[in-house]
Amino acid sequence: MLDSFSAIDLARFQFAFTISAHIIFPAFTIGLASFLAVLNGLWLWRRDEAYRRLFDYWKTIFAVVFGMGVVSGIVMSYQFGTNWSVFSDRTGPVLGPLMGYEVLSAFFLEAGFLGIMLFGRERVGDRLHMAATVIVALGTLMSAFWILSVNSWMQTPQGYSINDVGQFVPEDWWLIIFNPSFPYRLVHMVLAAYLTTAFVVGGVGAWHLLRNRDNRGAAIMFSMAMWMALIVTPIQILAGDLHGLNTLAHQPAKIAAMEGHFESFPEGRAPLVLFGLPDDAAGETRYKLEIPLLGSLILTHSLDTPIQGLDAFPTDERPPSALIFWTFRIMVAVGFAMLGIGLWSAWARWKGRLHEARWLHRAAVLMAPSGFLAVLCGWITTEVGRQPYTVYGLLRTADSAAPLEAAAVSASLTAFIVVYFLVFGSGTYYVLRLMSKEPQNAVDIDEIGPTRAAGITPVAARPTATHVGATGS
């Protein structure tokens, strides 16, 4: 089946597949690590058992998801070399050290303190345990910092020169790290991770409230998640808008594809294309449903600033528009649905019915996986929008790949697909099963087993110690 594709197409499928599978895990664990730190802090501050039980509940889920993030992440760190060796040779002097800093300042930090966070409370005491929990959360954020700097440099490269063998070599590290799109991308992604986690937590809380509205643990997590939805979603929409303005300044072809604008608007006054079918071959968006002038207002915050369409770029410098057009709309739609949930919860909270609002709970359950959808669509928009380049405007994707035969790549791609669906499919099922256990109430350890990702816990001898919190420190 894969025989008809070239080695480079297969390598692109493989990268897209493995990185899409990977991003799901950090999108969740970045937020969950911070949530766990907050829960543990609340437990230490108020000494309310409910927070500690919530901490234990979510840490078990964190351990499973984090493990999957680690193993899928190792694949990424090698795939640059295995499949994109020319890219690695050319960009290594600039991007390699940033990734080196990610490993040294983030990965080791997370791995080093994860065991203590998950299992060390009784061994090191509350204070060091809290420190370990905060350090793991900081580690996830540091990791996001470096890897988003790397990705942003590929989108908006600066601070480099090119040497005689064609390598990008660093001239100014400050310019490289803080390249023009980095601050926007970092804020947008970290907020996305927080929202993703908030909606998962909120969905799980709502699910258990629907089944037992007196469950205090579920009530607490639902309430915390809805505060996040209410406060963070508007900030995220604002951040996304600013990110879009930044992209317009640096990658106008990507914006044109997102907007479905094949034609330029030299006088401004561009419409907003709500829906349509972009057709790259024909060079137009068919069946457009437009709102006049709104496109200019959103993109330039003015009516008469000129806006470039895809026609301003040669066809071999345009990204494929249909995929970008649609993934962007799905992301935006999810964002506004999140805003709706946040406002709805504020209304219910004001009326004092937050924990009884059955339809709100049902909507929150439905929205539980929405963050993952938005994150994936957002990444597809920005990564496909960077095409046909790996380093925007400088190094073409077609010139970045390793000298591999198509047969080798199709074999590895098939193996990745089979293994990922098997392993991460099973993992997702186990996570869902953990989430379906009612929080707060004592859980029979024979049903779910102890957490082991990075720790040693008793097997059967003292089943109550791990989950009920019968032992102090």
Partner 1 sequence: MTIDLPFIWAGLIAFAVLAYVLLDGFDLGIGILFPFLADREERHLAMNTIAPVWDGNETWLVLGGGGLFAVFPLAYAIVMPALYPLIIAMLLGLIFRGVAFEFVHRTRRMQGAWEFGFWAGSLVAAIAQGMALGALVQGIAVEGRAYAGGNWDWLTPFSALTALALVVGYALLGATWLILKTEGKTLARARRFAMWLGAGLIVLIGAVSLATPFLRPEYLERWFGWPSGAWSAIVPILLALAVWQLWTGLRRDGDHLRPFLATVAIFVLCYAGLGVSFYPNIVPPALTIAEAAAPDSSLLFLLVGAVVLIPMILAYTAYSYWVFRGKVDPADGYH
Within residues 58-77, the interface with partner 1 by CB under 8 A covers 63-64, 67-68, 70-75, 77
Burial class (CB in 10 A: 0-12, 13-18, 19+), 446: exposed
Binding residues for partner 1, rule CB under 8 A, total 91
Amino acid in position 161: S
Among 163, 302, 315, 436, binds partner 1 (CB under 8 A): 163
> Contact letters (x/-) for partner 1, 379-408, by CB under 8 A?
-----------------------xxxx-xx
Distance CA 143, CA 42 (A): 25
Q: Of 31 and 120, which CB lies nearer to partner 1 in the complex structure?
A: 120
Q: Of 7 and 374, which CB lies nearer to partner 1 in the complex structure?
A: 7
Does residue 107 touch partner 1 according to CB under 8 A?
yes
Question: Tokens at residue 345, please?
Answer: 């919860």
Residue 388, preceding bond cis, omega within 30 degrees?
A: yes
Does residue 115 touch partner 1 according to CB under 8 A?
yes
Does residue 123 touch partner 1 according to CB under 8 A?
yes
Among 173, 275, 336, 421, binds partner 1 (CB under 8 A): 173
Q: Of 327 and 412, which CB lies nearer to partner 1 in the complex structure?
A: 412
Among 6, 103, 211, 336, binds partner 1 (CB under 8 A): 103
Interacting span for partner 1 (CB under 8 A) from 113-121, 309-317, 339-347, 359-367: 113-121
Does residue 434 touch partner 1 according to CB under 8 A?
yes
Distances (CA, A) of 444 to 240, 369, 438, 441, 464: 44, 27, 11, 10, 8
Cβ contact 196:27 at 8 Å = yes
3-state SS class at 351: coil
Among 48, 122, 267, 356, binds partner 1 (CB under 8 A): 122
Amino acid in position 444: D
End-to-end CA distance of the chain: 58
Query: Within its chain, how far is the Cα of 400 from the centroid?
Result: 25
Question: Tokens at residue 279, please?
Answer: 């057709």
CA angle 139, 186, 255 (to 5 degrees): 155
Q: Of 5 and 101, which CB lies nearer to partner 1 in the complex structure?
A: 101
Does residue 452 touch partner 1 according to CB under 8 A?
yes
Q: Of 294 and 448, which CB lies nearer to partner 1 in the complex structure?
A: 448
Among 41, 92, 268, 369, binds partner 1 (CB under 8 A): 92
